[in-house]
Amino acid sequence: MRRKFVVGNWKMHKGPQEADALAEALKKALAGRDATVDVGVAPPFVSLPAVVSRLKHTGIVVAAQNLHAEQQGAYTGEVSSEMLRQVGVAYCLVGHSERRQLFGETDASVARKVGACFRSGLLPILCVGETLAEREAGQEAAVVTRQLDAALGALGADQVPSVTIAYEPVWAIGTGKTATPLQAQDMHATIRGWLEAKFPAFVAKSTRIQYGGSVKGNNAAELMRMPDIDGALVGGASLNAEEFLAIIAGAATASGG
C-alpha cells in the first residue's frame, strides 16, 4: 500500500538555469512512464520557481530544503512555509542532518518547522538519524526515537501519514558509506515500531520511511526491496540525471514494476 518515493536533495547546487536543465532532463526521461514510483526534487530556494514551472503537470513533485517556523517577520535571510506554498512547492525537508550539525537546528526547532509545514499545507520530509559516535555507542535507536518523539509525538494520527520520514544515518551521508540493507531495515523497523506504539495501526501501515545515505543506482533496488524501506532521499547522486534515473528504476524494480 506504500508507493516508493524517491527524492533528490540538490543541496547548495544548481542555480536557476542549471536546475531548470536538470528538471527538463528528468521530465523528458520520465514522461509517459508507468508511474509505480513517486519522484521529487529539492532544489535550492532561488531555483524553486524555475523548477516548479518546468515540472508542472509532470507528477514530479518539488520540495524545499528548509523553512523558517514563523510565517513572516524580522527574520533576515529566512523563508517561510507560506512563501514556499505561494511559489508552488508541495514538500519541504525538515531537520536534515546538515541543518542540525552545521546550522544549530535542535529537536525543538525541527518540531516547530514541522508545525509550520502543516499550517501552510506543505508536506514535511522529516530527516532523522544518528552520528557515527552514537552508533558506535549503541545509541542509534535511542537517538532516532528521541528525534521522532520531538518532531512527531504531538501530531494527530490524521497528520502523521502526510509526513515522509527519512532515516539518514549521518555517517552514511556524502561519505560513500551506505548502511547495509539489513542495517537500514533494522532502523526502519524501529521507526515503524515507534509509529505503531504511538498511533492507531493505520498510521504505521501508511507512513512512508525513506532511506538516505550514499544511495546510488547500483544499491537502490537492494535497499528498497527491504520491507520497511519505502524510498530514498538522495543527495550527491541526484545531481546527475542518469544516476538519479537509475535509482528511480531501482525503486521500480524493488516495487515489482
Residues at the interface with ligand PEP (CB under 6 A)? 9, 168, 173-174, 212-215, 233-237
Of the pair 204, 248, the CB lying nearest ligand PEP is at 248
Task: With H, G, I as helix, E, B as strand and everything else as coil, classify residue 17.
Answer: helix
Residue whose C-beta lies closest to ligand PEP:
235
Least gap, CB of 74 to ligand PEP (angstroms): 30
Of the pair 72, 175, the CB lying nearest ligand PEP is at 175
At residue 53, φ and ψ (nearest 5 deg) are -65, -45
* CA count, 13 A, side-chain hemisphere, 81: 21
Least gap, CB of 178 to ligand PEP (angstroms): 8
C-alpha cell at 163: 509526513
Of the pair 44, 236, the CB lying nearest ligand PEP is at 236
C-alpha cell at 36: 509505480
Least gap, CB of 134 to ligand PEP (angstroms): 17
Q: Is-catalytic flag, 96?
A: yes
| Residue 144 · residue 179 · CB < 8 Å | no
Distance CA 93, CA 178 (A): 21
Question: Across-strand partners of 127?
Answer: 166
State how far the alpha carbon of 199 is from the alpha carbons of 152, 157, 159, 217, in Å: 11, 6, 11, 34
Q: Is-catalytic flag, 57?
A: no
| Residue 153 · residue 198 · CB < 8 Å | yes
Question: 105, 130, 134, 168: which is the annotated catalytic residue?
Answer: 168
Question: 96, 105, 134, 188: which is the annotated catalytic residue?
Answer: 96
- Give me the torsion for CA of 161, 213, 168, 91, rounded to 10°: -40
Instruction: Enumerate the H helices of 66-106 as residue ranges.
Output: 81-87, 97-102
| Residue 10 · residue 238 · CB < 8 Å | yes
Of the pair 192, 236, the CB lying nearest ligand PEP is at 236
Residue (of 125, 41, 119) closest to 80 by Cα position:
119
Least gap, CB of 36 to ligand PEP (angstroms): 22
Of the pair 11, 68, the CB lying nearest ligand PEP is at 11
Task: With H, G, I as helix, E, B as strand and everything else as coil, classify residue 234.
Answer: strand
Least gap, CB of 170 to ligand PEP (angstroms): 10
Which residues are tagged catalytic? Answer: 96, 168
